[in-house]
Amino acid sequence: MILRRLLTIAVAATLPGALWAAGEVTQFTLENGMEAVVIEDHRSPAVVHMVWYRTGAADEPPGVSGIAHFLEHLMFKSTDDLENGEFSRIVEANGGSDNAFTSWDYTAYFQRVAADRLGLMMQMEADRMRDLVITEADVVTERSVVLEERAQRTDSSPGALFNEQMRAALYLNHPYRIPIIGWRHEMLELDLDDALAFYERFYAPNNAILIVAGDVEPEEVQRLAEEHYGPLQPTSDLPERVRPSEPDHIADRTVRFEDGRVANPYVSRTYLAPERDSGAQEDAAALTLLAEILGGNGTTAVLGRTLQNEEGRALFAGAYYQATSLDDTSFTVLNVPVPGISLEEAEADLDRVIADFLEIGIDPAQFERIQFRYAASEIYNQDNVQGLARMYGVALTTGLTVEDVQAWPDVIAATTAEEVMQAARALFGGDTRSVTGYLDRPAAVEAEEATQ
Amino acid sequence: MILRRLLTIAVAATLPGALWAAGEVTQFTLENGMEAVVIEDHRSPAVVHMVWYRTGAADEPPGVSGIAHFLEHLMFKSTDDLENGEFSRIVEANGGSDNAFTSWDYTAYFQRVAADRLGLMMQMEADRMRDLVITEADVVTERSVVLEERAQRTDSSPGALFNEQMRAALYLNHPYRIPIIGWRHEMLELDLDDALAFYERFYAPNNAILIVAGDVEPEEVQRLAEEHYGPLQPTSDLPERVRPSEPDHIADRTVRFEDGRVANPYVSRTYLAPERDSGAQEDAAALTLLAEILGGNGTTAVLGRTLQNEEGRALFAGAYYQATSLDDTSFTVLNVPVPGISLEEAEADLDRVIADFLEIGIDPAQFERIQFRYAASEIYNQDNVQGLARMYGVALTTGLTVEDVQAWPDVIAATTAEEVMQAARALFGGDTRSVTGYLDRPAAVEAEEATQ
């Protein structure tokens, strides 16, 4: 075990991303269409068992925002075989832990348990894939829970509310504009019929991906999967996964959200950007490196180095790019100015640093460092088997393949500084329109604090 | 005939809107659920025959924007009884004219013919309500037609493109955000299945309103309607007409669209606003009068008087409010500055004039004049039987009743200046967030012209 880890790091030091540190990855597909990925990791006798559905908030019908996430909650209620909440109690009684999460492109359920409990996990997960039993009472209870979740995570957080408004402004047509948790006024109306309709439409073996990672042998996983998931009937009318796409962005937009709870006002600018596409990850690799170079970790990145370190004009400046996404994703730059600098000045700072960057280009030494660091971090990440399982799950539910995942470090390593600059020019210098966001405190709050 | 018209004007002069100038209005409903409104006008031996469907662009499934309007075009193709284009040829051969239109809330078809041809019109309209026959070839041809329509009406017009962007920015969740004509990239993909699915879902007598206006007797119209529309089967699975509604608007937004073809740059500001609701038209009446007072016809309105006449800072300044709408509508103020005044200055001018208006209030004499003028114009409008038919059609497909239409002038007349000011304060002075739009020429174009 130790040998393998050393080997990985040694390889990474010479050729970033050229080798994949993970244990063996095996794939198979059941007759009912359920795909499976097995990631071996024999360092500890544990296993992560995940079922990912190729459905998320962006697959919701109009008007019932939040239903994908709401259903995720309801999946912990009864089935024909299990009592309300019994699923998690059994996992716990077996020394494991379980949870679930929902995004725009996927909904996933997972348990981490001793490897010899894998069959039990499959048995229960297969059960709730087709035999969920939910009642009006479950809906009433759990609706309160998700509303409280929204209250805590979104409504009490100016930053989260601001992000919600920014997405709604960025996407003119695509459902990525709608919050995963749901618009509050629509969450209040979510009912049993909505949940069951979503469940029946999307929860089926031919819309699911099994991911098992840990101290397992692929043959045994396949045998167990055939035993537990094999008998499930596929759904015959699984809808094609096509969401409304974006028209050309022809107008620049701004969003100004003011909230008395904002501690540090900031300005951000977001562009629609290409995502990783299967077999064509080059653009996304260039944008991934661009985000690292402009605003990656620490203050060696261009925005942080200039605005934080050299000029002392920013508390923080960064760049974000989400490469894995089924449809068009976004690229964001952000500047949190030091007190006394207005958001308009902060915006001008952001523009200036980016304009200089487009002019000067990438420092070759910095490029190499960042490319290496990114590849290395990808490899280090693989030391965590749960993170690795999640990485495959995200990839496979956003249109990528196991091969794409394994090729990604190579694609990153093959990206040149010139390609990154081309991506930068296309993003910032071209006809791409953007959404600029101002998260601020109301003038009245500012004035009050000034007089104190 | 002349007597009636004089009478109408005389009444209007003493009590605006207290009387309805139209001929008798009669209503009936067929057994299959088709509603009908008959408006008598015996001044000329003509009739306007309209069928309105309670479906429009805001009822489209996601991803197929433009299908409501596209289907409207396809409705002029074949049926089981008529050849391609024969419908309009028969109308023309009978000395009539016909057309159709689509909005977010409705799709309507109409013919204007000699009154004795009403039965023939009903026969043909009933035929295409249920027996449309469209082919792949029709779709290919007509798709080119609607794409060309978009090219001419929208893509070649910076103002139309700007309005499209403004709507997409205003509505965060409601489908009013999507253009009636459709997003071009989605129009390219509209196919036969989309059109037939929309047709089968929404075109049925129980989703249609018949409006006949002109030289007819209600009993005869009903007899003909029973003969021609009566045999049509209602659809059993007509969807409930509920669209996704707006979350609270918590952030101010801007849209900046620059186009070299812009002749006169301008700034506009749009707010979400209540629409006319059945039995509760008071808020909409106050906003209707507010739009007239701020920016109605001529330069007696507040914005035009101040910015155009007194200050000479605007080429045009106005206000718009669309009162009839099934769901939340919008209120817009707009300022087209004289050359040399920037859009930022124009925006400040707009803010200043509105702030002064909120401070000073409405001049009572102006209020009376405007209230009278609006009521009188509503009454004059009724002299046009086609306009009257259209008014009922719009009302009945946006949630209003014949009684609401007839009460509207009274509601307008009963609105007080204080109620208008309350509406103004709620709109401009409250927590309502807005979308500010800048339609401008690119700086490069400006610079080039300056050097010429």
CA distance to B30, B52, B205, B242, B387, per residue, from B209 (Å):
10, 5, 8, 19, 16
Quick one: pLDDT at residue A296? 81
Q: Is residue B25 part of a domain?
A: no
Which residues from chain B sit within 8 angstroms of residue A250, using beta carbons?
Answer: 161, 165, 257
Would the pLDDT of B21 be above 80?
no
Number of domains in chain A: 2
B450: confidence class by pLDDT, cuts 50, 70, 90: low
Quick one: pLDDT at residue A430? 74
Let me know whether A263 and A182 are in one domain. no
Domain final position from A228, A262, A280: A228
How many contacts, defined by CB atoms under 8 Å, are there between A and B? 82
pTM for the structure as a whole: 0.89
Q: Model confidence over B312-349: pLDDT tens digits?
A: 999 999 999 999 999 999 999 999 999 999 999 999 99
Q: How far is B77 from chain A (nearest CA, A)?
A: 28
Q: Model confidence over B80-122: pLDDT tens digits?
A: 999 999 999 999 999 999 999 999 999 999 999 999 999 999 9
Domain final position from B213, B228, B243: B228
Complex ipTM: 0.85
Question: Which member of B40, B72, B186, B275 is catalytic?
Answer: B72
List alpha helices for A203-318, DSSP H.
218-228, 282-295, 302-303
Residue of B nearest to A257 (CA): B251
Q: Say which residue the tokens 């207290």 belong to.
A: B18
Q: How far is B78 from chain A (nearest CA, A)?
A: 30
Q: Kindly give the confidence (pLDDT) of every residue in chain A, 452 residues in length, as a single tens digit, with 9 standing for 90 and above.
A: 233 333 333 333 333 333 344 478 999 999 999 999 999 999 889 999 999 999 999 999 999 999 999 999 999 999 999 999 999 999 999 999 999 999 999 999 999 999 999 999 999 999 999 999 999 999 999 999 999 999 999 999 999 999 999 999 999 999 999 999 999 999 999 999 999 999 999 999 999 999 999 999 999 999 999 999 999 999 999 999 999 999 999 999 999 999 999 999 999 999 999 999 999 999 999 999 999 999 986 668 999 999 999 999 999 999 999 999 999 999 999 999 999 999 999 999 999 999 999 999 998 988 998 888 888 887 777 778 888 999 999 999 999 999 999 999 999 999 999 999 999 999 998 778 999 999 999 987 766 666 65
Residue B165 is part of which domain span? 31-228
| CATH code of the domain containing B427 | 3.30.830.10
Let me know whether A306 and A224 are in one domain. no
Pair A254, A308: CB distance under 8 Å: no
Q: Say if the Cβ atoms of B253 and A256 lie within 8 Å.
A: yes
Quick one: pLDDT at residue A298? 64
Contacts with A356 (C-beta within 8 Å, 6 or more apart), sequence order: A306
Which residues from chain A sit within 8 angstroms of residue B162, using beta carbons?
Answer: 251
Which residues from chain A sit within 8 angstroms of residue B65, using beta carbons?
Answer: 173, 244
Nearest beta carbon to residue B242 from set A63, A161, A175: A63
Let me know whether A283 and A412 are in one domain. yes
Give chain A's contact residues with B (Cβ, < 8 Å).
Answer: 62-63, 65, 161-162, 165, 168-169, 172-173, 175, 177-178, 183-186, 242-245, 247-248, 250-257
Q: Say if the Cβ atoms of B185 and A243 lie within 8 Å.
A: no
Let me know whether B218 and B270 are in one domain. no
Quick one: pLDDT at residue B297? 67
Let me know whether B205 and B263 are in one domain. no
Which residues from chain B sit within 8 angstroms of residue A63, using beta carbons?
Answer: 242-245
Q: Is residue A26 part of a domain?
A: no
Quick one: pLDDT at residue A47? 96
CA distance to A36, A177, B162, B262, B269, per residue, from B166 (Å):
46, 16, 6, 16, 9
Quick one: pLDDT at residue B12? 36
Q: Report the distance separating Cα A10 and Cα A12, nearest Å.
A: 5
Nearest to A172 by CA among B140, B182, B401: B182
Let me know whether A212 and A262 are in one domain. no
Q: Is residue B15 part of a domain?
A: no
Contacts with B226 (C-beta within 8 Å, 6 or more apart), sequence order: B30
Pair A134, A196: CB distance under 8 Å: yes
Which residues from chain B sit within 8 angstroms of residue A248, using beta carbons?
Answer: 185
Let me know whether B203 and B293 are in one domain. no
Q: Report the distance separating Cα B117 and Cα B114, nearest Å.
A: 6
Q: Is residue B391 part of a domain?
A: yes
Nearest to B230 by CA among B126, B77, B110, B331: B126
Expressed in angstroms, the distance from the first to the final Cα of chain B is 61
Contacts with B328 (C-beta within 8 Å, 6 or more apart), sequence order: B174, B176, B245, B246, B272, B273, B274, B275
Quick one: pLDDT at residue B299? 67
Quick one: pLDDT at residue B2? 31
Quick one: pLDDT at residue A129? 97
Q: Say if the Cβ atoms of B169 and A169 lie within 8 Å.
A: yes
Let me know whether A312 and A427 are in one domain. yes
CA distance to B297, B299, B315, B348, per residue, from B310 (Å):
16, 10, 12, 16
Which residues from chain A sit within 8 angstroms of residue B168, using beta carbons?
Answer: 172-173
Domain final position from A189, A213, A228: A228
Please say if B72 is a catalytic residue. Answer: yes
Q: Say if the Cβ atoms of A63 and B244 lie within 8 Å.
A: yes
Let me know whether A211 and A350 are in one domain. no
Give chain B's contact residues with A (Cβ, < 8 Å).
Answer: 62-63, 65, 161-162, 165, 168-169, 172-173, 175, 177-178, 183-186, 242-245, 247-248, 250-257
For every residue of A234-260, DSSP letters joined together read PPS-PPP-----PPP--SEEEEEEE-T
Which residues from chain B sit within 8 angstroms of residue A245, using beta carbons?
Answer: 63, 185-186
Let me know whether B269 and B410 are in one domain. yes
Q: Say if the Cβ atoms of B254 and A253 lie within 8 Å.
A: yes
Q: Say if the Cβ atoms of A244 and B161 lie within 8 Å.
A: no
Let me know whether A90 and A124 are in one domain. yes
Q: Model confidence over B261-279: pLDDT tens digits?
A: 999 999 999 999 999 999 9
Q: Say if the Cβ atoms of A175 and B62 lie within 8 Å.
A: yes
How many angstroms from the chain centroid is the CA of residue B309? 30
Q: Is residue B1 part of a domain?
A: no
Q: Is residue B248 part of a domain?
A: no
Would the pLDDT of B13 be above 90?
no
Let me know whether B220 and B259 are in one domain. no
Q: Is residue B421 part of a domain?
A: yes
Q: Is residue A348 part of a domain?
A: yes
